[in-house]
Chain A
Amino acid sequence: MAQPRAAAQSQPATDDLDQEEKTPDTKLYEELGELARFIDTTMKTLSEFSAPVNASTEQLPQAQTHLLNLKTQTEQGTHRVMLEVEAIQDNHAHISTMLKEMTRALQQAKVSPEIIQQLHTLGQTLGQDDKRLLDIMTALSFQDLVAQSVNKLVTILDEVEHKLLQLVVVFGPYQKQAAKTDQSKASEMLKQLEATKNTSMDQDLADEILKQFGFN
């Protein structure tokens, strides 16, 4: 980016003679003028980014909604799997009780020990499957980690939305060569943005800011 002071120093030698003849007040006035023009150019350059900034700002709430939907969907899907696992666990518990009762009855009836052994093996297999079912339950804790990551992403997006809206407020009136009343409104909106900095932004405020600068 060009420096105004450096630009002033690179003027031709004839200008140097003129500079020497000027009073300090005149020199200061000219330097301030150059500084004002530099700021003006910089503001115009930055305001060219308004359109992409606004487009991004408008899409951020959608991105947040998609992320929160992702969290809800994984939560619902996880509960659905858990419901099935719990149903199988309950069935296993019921079968296990019946197996014990059958074993006891068969022992009393003095049936072949081989049959009782088969029932015992059946119970062991059921126990191994119970272990697998518990492993499935604990493996579903991935959903909690997904939810935590989604929450962090939503917080980051919220912060980015704040920053982008601040840019919209600052450069919006400038780009449109707005009147002083608009600039005053921009200042008020900046205050509101600052007030919501540590909380989730009110959607109405975001919409109002975008609407004020012609983005619906």
Chain B
Amino acid sequence: MPADPNMKILVVDDMSTMRRIVKNILKQLGFNNLEEAENGQEALTKLKADTYGFVVSDWNMPVMMGIDMLRAIRADESLKKIPVLMVTAEAQKENLMEAVQAGVSNYVVKPFTAETMQDKINKIFK
């Protein structure tokens, strides 16, 4: 299923600079319906209030970590089919298996390039 350029995408990160970078990359890839949240808790509230086609989330965040948000999404009947791309720092590579077990759709390690992000998104929606 090719990615719908009009689908609503939620970018979740506690750092405003990272949200801006990810949104910029997504915009350059042709996606224009972009929303953002500062942590997993805020993301879940937004996901339950509207229809989203894709989530790009950081791992390490205050209030609710990305992995906990991912588990909550997969446990929710109305949200569980939303693809989730996790973004994490090099030092947290060991968490990859944990993310896979929790049902992550794909995984990007920081610092990443626009090509890597595009490649991962293409693999999710191919």
Q: Which residues of A contact B (CB under 8 A)?
A: 75, 78-79, 82, 85-86, 89, 130, 134-135, 137-145, 147-148
B18→A141 contact, CB < 8 A = yes
A145→B89 contact, CB < 8 A = yes
9 example contacts (A-B, Cβ-Cβ < 8 A) are as follows: A79-B17, A79-B20, A82-B20, A138-B21, A138-B25, A144-B110, A145-B110, A148-B60, A148-B89
How many residues in B have their beta carbons less than 8 Å from beta carbons of A?
A: 17
With A75-B17, A78-B17 as contacts: A138 and B111 at CB distance below 8 Å: yes
Which residues of the other chain, A, contact B15 by a CB distance below 8 angstroms?
A: 75, 143-144, 147
A134→B25 contact, CB < 8 A = yes
A186 to chain B, nearest CB (A): 34
- Confirm or deny: B6 has a beta carbon within 8 angstroms of a beta carbon on chain A: no
Which residues of the other chain, B, contact A130 by a CB distance below 8 angstroms?
A: 28
Distance in angstroms between the alpha carbons of A145 and B60 in the assembled complex: 12
A141→B16 contact, CB < 8 A = no
Distance in angstroms between the alpha carbons of A82 and B24 in the assembled complex: 9
Which residue in chain A gives the minimum CB-CB distance to B19?
A144
B28→A138 contact, CB < 8 A = no
With A134-B25, A145-B89, A148-B89 as contacts: A140 and B17 at CB distance below 8 Å: yes
Distance in angstroms between the alpha carbons of A135 and B118 in the assembled complex: 13
Which residues of the other chain, B, contact A148 by a CB distance below 8 angstroms?
A: 60, 89
Which residues of the other chain, A, contact B114 by a CB distance below 8 angstroms?
A: 134-135, 137-138
Distance in angstroms between the alpha carbons of A200 and B60 in the assembled complex: 19
Which residues of the other chain, B, contact A140 by a CB distance below 8 angstroms?
A: 17, 21
With A75-B17, A79-B20, A82-B20 as contacts: A141 and B25 at CB distance below 8 Å: no
Q: Which of B1-40 contact A (CB under 8 A)?
A: 13, 15-18, 20-21, 24-25, 28
Which residues of the other chain, A, contact B89 by a CB distance below 8 angstroms?
A: 145, 148
- Confirm or deny: B113 has a beta carbon within 8 angstroms of a beta carbon on chain A: yes
Distance in angstroms between the alpha carbons of A137 and B20 in the assembled complex: 9
A111 to chain B, nearest CB (A): 31
With A130-B28, A148-B60 as contacts: A138 and B113 at CB distance below 8 Å: yes
Which residues of the other chain, A, contact B60 by a CB distance below 8 angstroms?
A: 148
Which residues of the other chain, B, contact A147 by a CB distance below 8 angstroms?
A: 15
Q: Which of B32-87 contact A (CB under 8 A)?
A: 60
Which residues of the other chain, B, contact A142 by a CB distance below 8 angstroms?
A: 111
Distance in angstroms between the alpha carbons of A211 and B28 in the assembled complex: 57
Which residues of the other chain, A, contact B112 by a CB distance below 8 angstroms?
A: 138, 141
With A138-B25, A140-B21, A148-B89 as contacts: A79 and B111 at CB distance below 8 Å: no
Which residues of the other chain, B, contact A137 by a CB distance below 8 angstroms?
A: 21, 24-25, 114
